[in-house]
């Protein structure tokens, strides 16, 4: 398949504007500036692009919620907080092909009438930040950013806002709080950011990968885009594979590729020969894991949802038969309780409780009834938190309990692990 | 408190936002860098004055985000080893133990010569090259015990 | 309007009503932690989750408005189990040290767990501890974070209501802790509102700690005795000792708030220095005596003085006492010489009453704040009337309006203002005049009949603005806003009495606005609990009860002292007023008091004035009597007796009556209720005031107590606004600062000095100047400085204030170690001082 998002990866100097322009870079922007903003939004709608940040919401539709009043300041925010464990695609784009993102953002800004955009990048991504800074500078120099872009009358400024260690800031309203200089705790919705977002102004928040799809859609047309992959979730998708496979890494494939194909045709199979697949997390740790019998599930929004999991960020974590599921669950849960922002009761006080129980079970201090207690606490947290972080913690744990309940019970009963 | 270079940087930061408060994260980061890896009470007071914020708000900001080391000095090389799922699957725990032994400190501690601080962190977004760690601004990937020994030797 | 079903019951409510409010109104209880009607909703505790038909997830009713046609369930098994589970989560990391927790017995967490479960504990993991021991945040606030439920009300009240921003949330997740910067209490107003809103024992009163269990307390619902905001509060005692004052959510105009004075300043009641027996002077010194002996002496000496007697009664007495006091003088003693303040010129008071329109009856702050533009002038609200400041902050945050603050000193409330005007000392009048001139120039033809305008005929606007020291554009902008407003509210404070040259300006602007057909509401902002009552009861040399004309004008306090110095006034009867300290020319006051033939002082303490007395009578505090206070708005509110006066001390009303009876056996009436009856008959303004409807609950926090408001006076005296010329000592190089004075946040009048807690909050005097002045003098906050005036020199700690007018030094009236009045001399205007490093 023709690569779209990762096409420049591995090219020498791929991060520079010279290289980018050499492969037809910024043609999408030039094309876009010839159209009315509304028709750009229509094209993105027609392309069927769904957000790559996790929720899979239609990007064109999101943009269309922005009020059209030209006197109102509007903002575009790029969500580059990439914190979901297992995920590293956005970093890949920003480090290797920053202009692809920048071009996508300028087009998005033009479409929604935003004169300013912020890239909210994870604090740890120092290298990526440097690359982006350099690229933005180049884009200004070439007239792709700043006043009156390419003589179109459209002006746009782009700034980087660095996060500094808080997964919750990937949640879009927490991200806005963070840019405004507050603690990154989610805001209540409504009002939705499209009406009252950054500094109370209409704001669109999109993921890096989502925005990176835009230049292609404009240059090659929505039809071209929607013809890739399944009808309901078209377009290329970057899968971030990690764990027990021979060749972990970023793979750009159409949505709908099966897990089996990904692991065995693209990633060179399992890391340790003789050790088969035990479980796969298909979309970052918030996504419930699937077991070895479900490897033929196509990886797209709807098929995974039908299996009770989700595409999420497209982070595929592969675990072989030697993996202890209690330990896995503990690590994942510990992550969520560490990252809980503290705002709402069930997540703030529930996730550390789960972690403590899992810790006990893992270290051989399980008590009878622990598994049931875990399940009951999951029920008490799920659907009652302020934002989806708490739900994510529960979904992950429930996935493990659903598929590997015996293993948990064994740990409790025998004070030791079944597999190692 | 801030060097001239830092002050110029802060002036640039102010240009990014419609209000000063938004600059607080960048300014805290600059303050932390200026002090060599952590933030002191005086820094927060100075930043509060500079940005017209309450000191408690600057403190709250610094205490929410884990990369700010509030009143917790770190060594010259701050080693942060990822212990999240992908790295763990490929042996991060053993590497952490190995490093504790090599540096002769526990996680969370700093060597007596103030050269190294060892911390564990949650996923750093480099799972495809697990196990990995970050030392100050740089990523070190596809680690093994031998590789770590060499890295530490180069830094010592 | 929206019609919704709640548990099957159909109700119709305003659009935008929160499900929670709709359900509560319909009679269904929904438990909450983080919700508080007058704070911005956060929806974080998740106690209030309800089921909405058609929605998969439970929804937080405290931030979800109703939608027409919704069907809501608040008591399904899922909802009930969600409640129990939230409580279980909160308990998981809760300290559970209820037996030693001050909140035990009135803890919302306890009560909710009792009602909603869980009734079995499942959490058996180690708990995260914020700290081993309670830690002290301030001299009045102590904290135990291990009990926190993270409702964030403390932080929100500190920000949204108090405007102090001292508290913040540090850390995140289950390590999140609400505390101050480095646990210090810098900039804290010490009002303890964080304690009041805390549903658990996380924020606690330090002076109250471990003193009692709440069920052992006996309380009375009363009114705070400090400033004239008139806050409702409950004071509680155990074994005869008052140990707590608290506000009640949704009750009184203050709702859950009080300031430091109100919440912590009650402990003067239990002071060991309280007077408990009459004293008479025997061979030079004051010695205990019986009431008979004391009253006998009073009778003889008052009779001997004849008409040459005067009386000063404090504005902290009740309406009933004040009424009886003036009756004693005007009828039994036949003297017109009475006053209610040692600080103020009676003519200035009359001018103030006229300029603020107090004779027209009461006006509520809430109504005033409904105005399109509200101008605060002559009042340092944030320090002097803190809870009025809270009300203004809350209301102005909730609606878009134009709030203007004119003052020389900056204040906390400035951050809520749309515009602040910094004027020179004693130049509020020029400022108001310049506003008037601006407005006049736009509509001169419609203002031809406003007689006061002639005063400004020949004055140039530039000249006026120049004198204010304000930026001309600011004044023009404010004038424009006022001109464009349909309704204008004023909060005008006692600086107009201190520097009465501004009164004409206030009166004129009011007249001009009225002539333009605008609605004008003026609230006089007063610093003594019953100052308005004192005037309305007629404790003033120039008018009688209800501002009625008097046949013979009497002497005010200063005139009495002058007469005493000349030997013309023989005797004085002073009730709870510390003239020797409060009079703006202290040396003069003391020597005048010493030259009296006979001085009776009735007080709770042996005040400086009492030390000059021949007879001292032990009287009662607000906690020891029933009666009524009239607050600054003209709202009559009742205070209630919690304790008997100590030992042989008596209620002031009984003492005044006993003295009256020595002259006229039928002097009375006998008790407060009968006195009030007489007041209602004698003072038409009070005809509608009855005890029956006082102290009602708020309805939706919007006080609707108009029926307790005093009405307009119908036979008012003529109040002229006299020409005043407040002189400021001419500028001289050696004394660069103009010295101004007023109240401090922790101290006002004589009471606060007797409160160990309040005194503990501020141990020694502070002088305040602008940050810019300090900078140019090479001084910083906290420095010890000398303040040198022509007549006096003192030492104090420097405090700098950002944004205050330069060239002004402020010292509050109430420090024992720096009696600021010693810098003043009668007739010499406002003094100047120099400030140097000590
Ligand atoms: C706890 C949490 C963390 C999230 N982290 C990220 C993130 O790191 N990057 C991201 O793009 N979206 C993240 N999201 C999703 C965003 O809230 C949002 O849906 C997304 O940025 C929208 O962009 P899209 O429409 O382009 O997908 C997160 C959501 C939650 C609830
Ligand atoms: S679920 Fe609640 S505590 Fe957890 S991150 Fe979201 S808002 Fe914060
Ligand atoms: S009261 Fe509704 S969430 Fe707290």
For residue A136, is pLDDT > 90?
Answer: yes
Strand segments (E) across A288-406: 290-291, 315-320
C42·A343 Cβ contact <8 A: yes
Whether residue C237 contacts residue C243, with contact meaning beta carbons closer than 8 Å, is answered with yes
Residue for token pair 């995920």: A87
Q: Given this model, what pLDDT does residue C697 score?
A: 58
Read off φ and ψ for residue C551, nearest 5 degrees.
-75, -35
* CB within 8 Å of chain B, chain C residues 151-170: 165-170
Helices (H), A65-125: 89-96, 98-112
Residue B68 sits at the chain A interface (C-beta within 8 Å): yes
Query: Can you tell me the mean pLDDT for B71-75?
Result: 95
Of the listed ranges A3-7, B60-64, C523-527, the least confidently predicted one is: A3-7
Q: For ligand 2, say whether the CB of A344 is within 6 Å of any of its atoms.
A: yes
pLDDT digits (tens, 9 = 90+) for A364-374: 999 999 999 99
Of the listed ranges B116-120, C280-284, C289-293, C669-673, the least confidently predicted one is: C669-673
Distance between CA atoms of residues C765 and A153, nearest Å? 63
| Single pTM value for the model | 0.94
Tokens of C40: 């911005």
Distance between CA atoms of residues C155 and A345, nearest Å? 17
* CB within 8 Å of chain A, chain B residues 99-118: none
Query: Can you tell me the mean pLDDT for C796-809?
Result: 94
Residue C156 sits at the chain A interface (C-beta within 8 Å): no
Q: Which residues of C788-810 are buried (b: 16+ CB within 10 A; e: fewer)?
A: bbeebebebbbebbeebbbbbbb
Angle at Cα A129 formed by Cα A123 and Cα A135, nearest 5°? 160
Choose which residue among C39, C48, C79, C90 to substitute to test ligand 3 binding: the one with the highest number of ligand atoms within 8 A of its C-beta.
C48
Q: For ligand 2, say whether the CB of A340 is within 6 Å of any of its atoms.
A: yes
What are residue A251's DSSP bridge partners? Answer: A239
Whether residue C544 contacts residue C326, with contact meaning beta carbons closer than 8 Å, is answered with yes
Distance between CA atoms of residues A47 and A37, nearest Å? 16
Query: Can you tell me the mean pLDDT for A214-241?
Result: 94
Nearest to A161 by CA among A131, A118, A208: A118
Q: Given this model, what pLDDT does residue C43 score?
A: 97
Whether residue A208 contacts residue A94, with contact meaning beta carbons closer than 8 Å, is answered with yes
Q: Given this model, what pLDDT does residue C707 score?
A: 56
Report how far apart the first and last C-alpha atoms of chain C are (Å, whole number): 67
Minimal C-alpha gap between A92 and chain C (Å): 29
Whether the link from the prior residue into A191 is cis, omega within 30° of 0, is yes
Q: Given this model, what pLDDT does residue C816 score?
A: 83
Using CB atoms within 10 Å of the CB of residue C220, give its burial: 0 to 12 exposed, 13 to 18 middle, 19+ buried.
middle
Whether residue C372 contacts residue C519, with contact meaning beta carbons closer than 8 Å, is answered with no
For residue C703, is pLDDT > 70?
Answer: no
Q: Given this model, what pLDDT does residue C696 score?
A: 62
- Please, how many CA atoms are within 13 Å of residue C93, restricted to the half-sphere of its CB? 29
Helices (H), C454-594: 461-468, 472-484, 495-498, 503-515, 531-536, 557-565, 579-582, 586-594
Whether residue B128 contacts residue A241, with contact meaning beta carbons closer than 8 Å, is answered with yes
Atom 2 of ligand 2, residue of closest alpha carbon: A344
Provide the mean pLDDT of chain C: 93
Q: Given this model, what pLDDT does residue C467 score?
A: 93
- Per the document, the length of chain B is 156
- Secondary structure letter of residue C717 according to DSSP: P
For residue C698, is pLDDT > 60?
Answer: no
Residue B18 sits at the chain A interface (C-beta within 8 Å): yes
Q: Given this model, what pLDDT does residue C693 score?
A: 62
Q: C793-801 and C766-770: which strand pairing?
A: parallel
pLDDT digits (tens, 9 = 90+) for A57-81: 999 999 999 999 999 999 999 999 9
Query: Can you tell me the mean pLDDT for C370-390?
Result: 96
Atom 8 of ligand 1, residue of closest alpha carbon: A82
pLDDT digits (tens, 9 = 90+) for C621-630: 999 999 999 9
Distance between CA atoms of residues A128 and A123, nearest Å? 10
Higher pLDDT, C588 or C727: C588
Q: Given this model, what pLDDT does residue A313 score?
A: 92
pLDDT digits (tens, 9 = 90+) for C104-122: 999 999 999 999 989 899 9
How far does the centroid of ligand 1 lie from the alpha carbon of residue A248, in Å?
23
Minimal C-alpha gap between B26 and chain A (Å): 7
Confidence of residue C701 (pLDDT cuts 50, 70, 90): very low
How far does the centroid of ligand 2 lie from the alpha carbon of residue A347, in Å?
5
For residue C704, is pLDDT > 60?
Answer: no
Residue A242 Cα distances to A95, A321, A329, B146, C430, angstroms: 19, 15, 17, 22, 76
For residue A17, is pLDDT > 60?
Answer: yes
A386: nearest CB among C43, C47, C176: C43
Confidence of residue C715 (pLDDT cuts 50, 70, 90): low
Distance between CA atoms of residues A279 and A316, nearest Å? 10
Confidence of residue A166 (pLDDT cuts 50, 70, 90): very high
Minimal C-alpha gap between A181 and chain B (Å): 4
| Other Cβ atoms closer than 10 A to C108 | 17
Whether residue A77 contacts residue A71, with contact meaning beta carbons closer than 8 Å, is answered with no
Minimal C-alpha gap between A241 and chain B (Å): 6
- Give chain C's radius of gyration (CA, Å): 28
B60·C166 Cβ contact <8 A: no
Query: Counting one residue from A and one from B, how many pairs have CB atoms under 8 Å apart?
Result: 135
Query: Can you tell me the mean pLDDT for A206-220?
Result: 97
Give chain B's domains with CATH numbers. 4-64 (1.10.10), 77-155 (3.40.30.10)
Tokens of C669: 């009436």
A349: nearest CB among C58, C92, C172: C92
The ligand minimizing its distance to the Cα of A184 is 2
Q: Given this model, what pLDDT does residue C694 score?
A: 64
Q: Residue A150 region, left (φ>0) first, then alpha (ψ -120 to 50), else beta?
A: left
Confidence of residue A363 (pLDDT cuts 50, 70, 90): very high
How far does the centroid of ligand 3 lie from the alpha carbon of residue C101, in Å?
24
| Ligand 1 binding pocket, CB closer than 6 Å | A 51-55, 57, 59, 79, 81-84, 168, 170-172, 205-207, 210, 387-389
Query: Can you tell me the mean pLDDT for B26-52?
Result: 96
Whether residue C264 contacts residue C757, with contact meaning beta carbons closer than 8 Å, is answered with yes
Confidence of residue C399 (pLDDT cuts 50, 70, 90): confident
Whether residue C5 contacts residue C70, with contact meaning beta carbons closer than 8 Å, is answered with yes
Secondary structure in 3-state letters for chain B: CCCHHHHHHHHHHHHHCCCCHHHHHHHHHHHHHHHCCCECHHHHHHHHHHHCCCHHHHHHHHHHCCCCCECCCCCCEEEEEECCHHHHHCCHHHHHHHHHHHHCCCCCCECCCCCEEEEEECCCCCHHHCCCEEECCEEECCCCHHHHHHHHHHHC
- Give chain A's radius of gyration (CA, Å): 22
Using CB atoms within 10 Å of the CB of residue C185, give its burial: 0 to 12 exposed, 13 to 18 middle, 19+ buried.
middle
Tokens of A367: 């008590």
Residue C626 Cα distances to A7, C533, C581, angstroms: 86, 15, 28
A339: nearest CB among B16, B67, B122: B122
Q: Given this model, what pLDDT does residue C76 score?
A: 97
Choose which residue among A339, A349, A389 to substitute to test ligand 2 binding: the one with the highest number of ligand atoms within 8 A of its C-beta.
A389
pLDDT digits (tens, 9 = 90+) for A244-283: 999 999 999 999 999 999 999 999 999 998 999 999 999 9
Q: Which residues of C165-181 are buried (b: 16+ CB within 10 A; e: fewer)?
A: bbbbbbbbbbbbbbbbb
Neighbours of chain C (3+ CB pairs under 8 A): A, B
Q: Given this model, what pLDDT does residue A2 score?
A: 82
Query: Can you tell me the mean pLDDT for C193-212?
Result: 96
Query: By CA distance, what is B41's nearest residue in C?
Result: C182
Distance between CA atoms of residues C244 and C195, nearest Å? 12
How far does the centroid of ligand 2 lie from the alpha carbon of residue C176, in Å?
12
- Taking contacts as CB-CB distances below 8 angstroms, the residues of chain C near A352 are 93, 128, 173-174
How far does the centroid of ligand 1 lie from the alpha carbon of residue A131, in Å?
22
ipTM score: 0.96
For residue C726, is pLDDT > 50?
Answer: yes
For residue C489, is pLDDT > 70?
Answer: yes
Provide the mean pLDDT of chain B: 96
Distance between CA atoms of residues C514 and C517, nearest Å? 5
Nearest to C683 by CA among C554, C538, C540: C538
């Amino acid at each position: 398949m023709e690569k779209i998002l990762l096409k420049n990866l591995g090219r020498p100097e791929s991060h520079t504007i010279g290289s980018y322009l050499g492969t037809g870079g910024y043609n999408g922007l030039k094309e876009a500036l010839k159209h009315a903003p509304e028709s750009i939004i229509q094209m993105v709608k027609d392309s069927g692009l769904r957000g790559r940040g996790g929720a899979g919401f239609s990007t064109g539709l999101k943009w269309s919620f922005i009020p059209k009043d030209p006197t109102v300041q509007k903002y575009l925010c790029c969500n580059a907080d990439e914190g979901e464990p297992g995920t590293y695609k956005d970093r890949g784009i920003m480090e290797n092909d920053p202009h692809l993102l920048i071009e996508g953002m300028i087009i998005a800004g033009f479409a929604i009438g935003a004169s300013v955009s912020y890239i909210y990048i994870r604090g740890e991504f120092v290298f990526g930040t440097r690359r982006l800074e350099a690229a933005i500078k180049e884009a200004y120099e070439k007239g792709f950013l700043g006043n009156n872009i390419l003589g179109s009358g459209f002006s746009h400024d782009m700034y980087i806002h660095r996060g500094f260690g808080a997964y919750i800031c990937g949640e879009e309203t927490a991200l806005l709080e963070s840019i405004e200089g507050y603690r990154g705790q989610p805001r209540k919705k409504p009002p939705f950011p499209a009406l009252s977002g950054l500094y109370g102004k209409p704001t669109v928040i999109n993921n890096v990968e989502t925005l990176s799809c835009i230049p292609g859609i404009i240059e090659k047309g929505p039809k071209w885009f929607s013809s890739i992959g399944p009808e309901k979730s078209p377009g290329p998708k970057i899968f971030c594979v990690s764990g027990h496979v021979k060749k972990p890494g970023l793979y750009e494939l159409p949505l709908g590729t099966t897990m089996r194909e990904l692991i065995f045709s693209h990633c060179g199979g399992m890391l340790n020969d003789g050790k088969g697949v035990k479980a796969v997390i298909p979309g970052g740790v918030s996504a419930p894991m699937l077991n070895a019998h479900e490897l033929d599930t196509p990886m797209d929004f709807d098929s995974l949802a039908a299996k009770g999991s989700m595409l999420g960020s497209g982070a595929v974590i592969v675990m072989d038969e030697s993996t202890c599921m209690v330990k896995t669950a503990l690590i994942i849960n510990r992550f969520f309780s560490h990252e809980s922002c503290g705002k709402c009761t069930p997540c703030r006080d529930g996730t550390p409780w789960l972690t403590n129980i899992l810790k006990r079970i893992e270290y051989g201090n399980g008590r009878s009834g622990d598994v049931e207690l875990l399940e009951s606490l999951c029920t008490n947290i799920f659907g009652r938190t302020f934002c989806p972080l708490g739900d994510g913690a529960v979904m992950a744990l429930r996935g493990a309990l659903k598929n590997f309940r015996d293993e948990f019970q064994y740990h409790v009963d025998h004070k030791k692990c079944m597999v190692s | 408190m801030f060097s001239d270079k830092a002050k110029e940087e802060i002036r640039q930061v102010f240009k990014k936002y419609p209000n000063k408060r938004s600059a607080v994260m960048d300014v805290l980061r600059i303050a932390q860098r200026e002090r060599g890896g952590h933030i002191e009470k005086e820094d927060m007071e100075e930043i509060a004055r500079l940005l017209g914020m309450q000191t408690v708000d600057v403190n709250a900001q610094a205490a929410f985000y884990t990369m700010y080391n509030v009143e917790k000095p770190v060594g010259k090389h701050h080693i942060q080893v990822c212990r999240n799922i992908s790295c763990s699957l490929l042996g991060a725990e053993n590497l952490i133990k190995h490093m504790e032994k090599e540096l002769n400190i526990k996680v969370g501690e700093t060597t007596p010569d103030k050269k190294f601080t060892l911390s564990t962190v949650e996923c750093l977004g480099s799972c495809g090259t697990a196990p990995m760690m970050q030392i100050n601004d740089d990523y070190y990937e596809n680690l093994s015990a031998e590789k770590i020994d060499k890295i530490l030797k180069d830094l010592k | 309007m929206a019609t919704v079903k709640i548990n099957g019951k159909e109700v119709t409510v305003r659009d935008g009503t929160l499900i929670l409010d709709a359900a509560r109104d319909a009679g269904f209880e929904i438990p909450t932690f983080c919700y508080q009607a007058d704070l911005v909703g956060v929806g974080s505790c998740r106690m209030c989750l309800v089921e909405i038909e058609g929605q998969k997830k439970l929804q937080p009713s405290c931030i979800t408005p109703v939608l027409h046609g919704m069907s809501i369930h608040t008591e399904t098994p899922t909802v009930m189990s969600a409640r129990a589970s939230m409580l279980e989560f909160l308990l998981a990391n809760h300290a559970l040290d209820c037996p030693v927790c001050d909140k035990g017995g009135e803890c919302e967490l306890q009560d909710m767990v009792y009602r909603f479960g869980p009734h079995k504990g499942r959490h058996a993991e180690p708990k995260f501890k914020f700290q081993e021991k309670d830690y002290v945040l301030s001299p009045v606030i102590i904290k135990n974070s291990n009990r926190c439920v993270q409702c964030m009300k403390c932080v929100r009240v500190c920000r949204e209501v108090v405007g102090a921003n001292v508290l913040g949330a540090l850390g995140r997740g289950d390590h999140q802790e609400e505390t101050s910067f480095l646990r210090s209490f810098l900039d804290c107003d010490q009002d303890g509102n964080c304690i009041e809103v805390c549903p658990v024992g996380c924020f606690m009163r330090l002076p109250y700690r471990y003193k009692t269990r709440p069920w052992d307390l006996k309380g009375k619902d009363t009114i705070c005795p400090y400033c004239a905001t008139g806050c409702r509060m409950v004071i509680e005692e155990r074994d005869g000792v008052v140990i707590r004052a608290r506000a009640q959510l949704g009750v009184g105009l203050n709702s859950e708030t009080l300031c430091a004075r109100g919440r912590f300043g009650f402990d003067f009641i239990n002071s060991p220095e309280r007077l408990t027996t009459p004293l008479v002077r025997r061979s030079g010194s004051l010695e205990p005596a019986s009431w008979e002996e004391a009253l006998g002496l009073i009778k003889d000496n008052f009779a001997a003085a004849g008409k040459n007697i005067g009386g000063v009664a404090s504005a902290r007495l009740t309406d009933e006492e004040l009424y009886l006091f003036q009756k004693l003088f005007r009828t039994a003693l036949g003297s017109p010489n009475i006053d209610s303040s040692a600080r103020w010129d009676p003519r200035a008071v009359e001018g103030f009453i006229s300029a603020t329109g107090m004779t027209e009856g009461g006006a509520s702050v809430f109504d005033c704040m409904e105005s399109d533009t509200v101008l605060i002038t002559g009042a340092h609200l944030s320090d002097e009337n803190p809870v009025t400041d809270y009300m203004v902050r809350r209301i102005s945050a909730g609606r878009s309006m134009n709030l203007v603050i004119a003052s020389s000193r900056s204040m906390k409330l400035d951050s809520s203002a749309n515009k602040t005007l910094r004027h020179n000392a004693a130049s509020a009048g020029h400022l108001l005049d310049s506003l008037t001139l601006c407005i006049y120039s736009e509509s001169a033809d419609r203002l031809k009949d406003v007689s006061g305008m002639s005063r400004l005929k020949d004055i140039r606007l530039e000249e006026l603005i120049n004198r204010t020291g304000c930026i001309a554009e600011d004044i023009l902008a404010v004038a424009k806003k006022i001109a464009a407003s349909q309704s204008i509210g004023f909060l005008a404070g006692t600086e107009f009495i201190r520097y009465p040259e501004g009164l004409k300006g206030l009166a004129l602007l009011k007249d001009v606005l009225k002539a333009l057909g605008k609605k004008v509401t003026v609230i006089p902002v007063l610093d003594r609990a019953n100052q308005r009552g004192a005037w309305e009861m007629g404790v003033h040399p120039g008018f009688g009860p209800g501002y009625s004309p008097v046949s013979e004008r009497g002497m005010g306090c200063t005139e009495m002292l002058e007469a005493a110095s000349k030997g013309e006034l023989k005797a004085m009867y002073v009730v709870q007023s510390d003239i020797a300290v409060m009079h703006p020319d202290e040396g003069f006051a003391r020597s005048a008091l010493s030259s009296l033939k006979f001085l009776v002082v009735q007080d709770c303490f042996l005040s400086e004035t009492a030390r000059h007395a021949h007879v001292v009578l032990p009287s009662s505090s607000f906690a020891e009597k029933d009666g009524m206070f009239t607050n600054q708005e003209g709202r009559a509110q009742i205070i209630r007796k919690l304790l008997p006066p100590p030992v042989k001390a008596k209620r002031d009303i009984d003492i005044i009556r006993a003295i009256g009876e020595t002259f006229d056996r039928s002097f009375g009436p006998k008790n407060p209720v009968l006195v009030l009856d007489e007041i209602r008959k004698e003072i038409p303004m009070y005809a509608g005031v009855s005890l029956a409807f006082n102290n009602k609950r708020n309805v939706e926090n919007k006080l609707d107590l108009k029926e307790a408001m005093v009405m307009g006076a119908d036979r008012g005296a003529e109040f002229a606004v006299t020409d005043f010329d407040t002189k400021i000592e001419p500028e001289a190089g050696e004394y660069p600062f103009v010295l101004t004075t007023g109240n401090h946040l922790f101290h006002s009048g004589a009471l606060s000095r007797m409160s160990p807690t309040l005194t503990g909050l501020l141990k020694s005097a502070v002088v305040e100047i602008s940050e810019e002045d300090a900078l140019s003098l090479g001084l910083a906050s906290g420095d010890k400085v000398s303040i040198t005036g022509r007549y006096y020199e003192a030492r104090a700690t420097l405090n700098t204030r950002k944004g205050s007018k330069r060239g002004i030094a402020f010292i509050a009236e109430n420090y024992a170690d720096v009696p600021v009045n010693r810098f003043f001399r009668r007739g010499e205007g406002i003094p100047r001082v120099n400030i140097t490093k000590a």
